[in-house]
Amino acid sequence: MVNVIGAGLAGSEAAWQIARRGHSVRLWEMRPAKQTPAHSTGDFAELVCSNSFGSMIETTAPGLLKLELERMGSVILATARQAQVPAGGALAVDRHQFARLVTEKVAHHPLITVMREECTSIPAGITVIATGPLTSESLTEVLQTMTNSENLHFYDAAAPIVDGATIDYEAGFWGARYGKGEPDYFNCPLTKAEYEEFWEALISAEVAPVHGDLEEDLTVFEGCMPIEVLAKRGKDAIRFGPFKPVGLEDPSGRRPYAVLQLRKENTKATLFNLVGCQTRLKWGEQRRVFRMIPALRQAEFLRYGVMHRNTFVNSPQVLLPTFQMRGFPNIFLAGQLTGVEGYMESTVSGLVAGVNAARLADGRSPLVFPEDTVVGAMAHYISSADPKHFQPMNANFGILPPLPTRVRDKHARKQAYVKRAQASLEAYLSTVGEE
């Protein structure tokens, strides 16, 4: 018997993958007896935000992820196609039909037993925990104990991340503050006029609404302060904060008026975080405002800044790329709890955790998917990113290893990523006996 806690997208996928490999599953779901602040039914895989699963265009990272999920037999993706509604190039669903169909399929599988009660402790044996960003207090306490409390986060206060290939490196310079350590930061200088124009745009930009008591919490949690809120404290507030030029000199030896630092998000320098720019601005506003910085005029945003309640573990400290917990090989985590962002990303984490839980039950080694696939790149990112600055991530080409040769044409580059990923996944599944 394999346990799965939580019947959201990740938990439902995990339970299905375990059962289709011949193992009995005990699936715990506390709803509807105990609801979360966001859910309204007891249906599995209830969507609480958008009804869109993102792009189906194959030359996008979300489209490629769907191809990989389809190849590996995802029940969530197959059900989404059944409940699909017109949405142009995106996969959108009738949310109520979708949740009902997932519930019927998973709950009626002959090897799955559904436990309609809160799971307050981790059962003995192989277990997948997929309780999402609204994990109950009881289970949160258990996770805090297992992971050490400092490795469990309750706020998703993230700055935007841009594609390293779209940064104008002629408009900035590499260097660490005061010349200490390796020059791992790319510095984007601004003149006085550029800074003041940026500041005016920042304080007047439209922000996204917040939910619950996050607004109150932010007033006392300075580390979570949006950059636009800090900027409103005065014209020089961010110039003496995250944009301070102190300790930085451009190649001519001069100190800039203000500097935005970009920090590498991965070892290959394909992803860069806008340091200190956690924000509540609407996504279109983030793109408009931050592109006013000269080095980011043409930047492509792979992830926008967000700020909301979101329980997730510091996965690089806690998880292996198999989604097993370090030090607890019988326990897997899946879904948004692991720091993946998005419906399909949660689904694929559940698929990998489910496949690996079944393999462990068979006495076989869990799988580490190739990093040049989206599924493998997601697993690699959440298990190897910088733990000091870890934030949730969605599927994007920036987390994939660079192509062996540079492809200048954007469309051709994306096609090359897709072709490489599909060939790699096909070869890997054949090698490990998961065809």
CA 44 to CA 36: how far, in whole Å? 13
Q: Please report the pLDDT score of residue 167 as a whole number.
A: 96
Q: Concatenated DSSP letters for 254-319?
A: PPPSEEEEEEESSTTS-EEEETT----B-HHHHHHHHTTSGGGTTPPEEE--EEEEEEEE-HHHHB
Q: Per residue in 38-68, pLDDT tens?
A: 667 889 999 876 778 989 999 999 999 999 9
What is the residue extent of each domain of the chain?
A: 2-156+309-432, 161-304
CA 319 to CA 321: how far, in whole Å? 7
Q: Please report the pLDDT score of residue 222 as a whole number.
A: 47
Q: Please report the pLDDT score of residue 216 as a whole number.
A: 45
Q: What's the CATH fold of domain 2-156+309-432?
A: FAD/NAD(P)-binding domain (3.50.50)
- For 435, the token pair is 């065809």
Q: Please report the pLDDT score of residue 224 as a whole number.
A: 57
SS3 string, 40-65, reads CCCCCCCCCCCCEEEECCCCCHHHHH
Q: What is the CA radius of gyration of the chain?
A: 22
Structural domain 161-304, CATH architecture: Beta Barrel (2.40)
CA 425 to CA 39: how far, in whole Å? 35
Print pLDDT tens along the chain (435 aa): 999 999 999 999 999 999 999 999 999 998 887 766 666 788 999 987 677 898 999 999 999 999 999 999 999 999 999 999 877 788 988 888 999 999 999 999 999 999 999 888 999 999 999 998 777 888 888 888 888 867 676 555 678 999 999 999 999 999 888 776 667 789 999 999 999 999 999 999 998 875 544 444 444 344 557 899 899 999 999 999 999 999 998 999 899 999 999 988 776 788 898 988 989 899 999 999 999 999 999 999 998 887 766 678 999 999 999 999 999 999 999 999 998 988 999 999 999 999 999 999 999 999 999 999 999 999 999 999 988 888 888 899 999 999 999 898 989 999 999 999 999 999 999 999 987
Q: Please report the pLDDT score of residue 221 as a whole number.
A: 41
Q: Please report the pLDDT score of residue 213 as a whole number.
A: 47
CB 129 within 8 A of CB 152: no
Q: How many other β-carbons are positioned within 10 Å of the β-carbon of residue 163? A: 17
CA 392 to CA 153: how far, in whole Å? 11
Q: Per residue in 152-206, pLDDT tens?
A: 765 556 789 999 999 999 999 998 887 766 677 899 999 999 999 999 999 999 9
Q: Please report the pLDDT score of residue 178 as a whole number.
A: 75
DSSP β-bridge partners for residue 272: 162, 264
Tokens 């018997």 correspond to 1
Strands 271-274 and 161-163: antiparallel
Q: Is the dihedral of CA 130, 348, 148, 218 positive or negative?
A: negative
Q: Please report the pLDDT score of residue 367 as a whole number.
A: 98
